Amino acid sequence: MADKINFSSEIESVFKGLRAFAIFAVALFLLAGVVAAQTPISSCQTITASGSYILTNDITTTGNCIFIAADNVVLDCNGAVIKGPGKDAGNLFGIIGGWGAPGSAINTTIKNCI
């Protein structure tokens, strides 16, 4: 005589697995949003915390502009321009990391600058 299969417990087991997968997928999606968040920058400043930063507009300055004083920083210029007084003004820099800034700027990425 064949054993009876309890379909309701099998179906319940499948739904428990699907529910666990859905919870995991939502948590992963939310975590990815936190990791990918970028802090907007719209003016000259010193970056003192690790993370991702993005320029939101062009910046005009009469001196040094962005000091990177933290490790593990990604600065995305987002195609923006940091415009200074030019080569006749001496040793001025749009972005300074490590040397000349109060911090080491290890593992720093600067991208999409014009």
pLDDT tens digit sequence for 93-105: 888 887 655 667 8
* pTM (predicted TM-score): 0.64
Q: How far is 5 from 109, CA to CA, in rounded Å?
A: 59
Which pLDDT belongs to residue 28?
66
Q: Residue 40: how many CA atoms within 13 Å on its side-chain side?
A: 4
pLDDT digits (tens, 9 = 90+) for 63-77: 889 999 999 999 999
